[in-house]
Structures are given as C-alpha cells and as structure tokens.
C-alpha cells in the first residue's frame, strides 16, 4: 500500500464548478499535512497547509480527519487558472523532516 494515496483523476470540470480531491495516508504518526500544486513542467508550489481544525484560503478549503487518516481539498468557483496537478503531502516528524508526496490528481478546468 502506498504511503499517500490520491484520486488519480483526471478531473475535467467546467469553469465555476466545485471540485473535491481526497487523499489517505497510511502512517498514523504523520504530523503535518499540505496541498501542493504543480503546473505542467514547473516545480511543485505550496498551496496550503492543512490544520486539524480545517482551514480556508479564499476559494480553497482543506480538511483533515486524523481518525480516518484522510485529507481533502475543496475548490469552489473553479477558474481556468486552477488547472494543474494537485499533490497531497504528508510530513512525518521525529528525526526526519521528509515530505511524502502522493502521485497527484490532475485537474482541468474547461471554459
């Protein structure tokens, strides 16, 4: 089983739609959670950290369910510029500061 599993997609949605991505992680000791976005042929960029209470940044809402080891990202009123690959990322503390990346979910927002 992969350490971080994501909906593979691709998701093709019309502009203005709401879209949700899901992610599960296998290590119950994981401490930090992030969503990154990666545009084609570019580097991954931090979209938002995910906090235990859930958090919102404009049109983006992230949720964490530690009991189910589940993370979600909701994008409301999607824009053409939201088209990218979204990476679910988990950090296990302790002696390491490594990030474990999911394989990504590809989103295309259509005009």
Annotate each residue in 36-55 with x if it binds other proteins (CB under 8 A) or - if it does not, as one string: ------xxxxx--x------
Q: Which one of 20-28, 57-65, 74-82, 94-102 is the stretch in contact with other proteins (CB under 8 A)?
A: 94-102
Q: Strand 11-14 and strand 105-110: pairing?
A: parallel
22 alpha carbon, distance to own chain's centre: 7
Q: Cα-flanking dihedrals φ and ψ of residue 22, to 5°?
A: -120, 155
For the CA atoms of the chain, what is the radius of gyration? 14
Q: Which one of 7-15, 16-24, 62-70, 100-108 is the stretch in contact with other proteins (CB under 8 A)?
A: 100-108
- Which spans of this chain sit near other proteins (rule: CB under 8 A)? 32, 34, 42-46, 49, 87, 91, 95-99, 101, 103-104
């Amino acid at each position: 089983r992969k350490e971080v599993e994501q909906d593979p997609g691709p998701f093709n949605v019309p502009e203005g739609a709401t879209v949700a991505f899901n992610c599960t992680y296998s290590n119950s000791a994981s401490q930090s959670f992030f969503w990154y976005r990666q545009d084609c042929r570019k580097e991954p960029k931090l979209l938002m950290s995910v906090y235990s209470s859930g958090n919102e940044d404009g049109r983006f809402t992230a949720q964490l369910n530690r009991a189910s080891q589940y993370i979600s990202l909701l994008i409301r009123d999607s824009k053409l510029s939201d088209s990218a690959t979204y990476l679910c990322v988990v950090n296990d503390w302790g002696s390491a500061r490594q990030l474990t990346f999911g394989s990504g979910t590809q989103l295309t927002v259509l005009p």
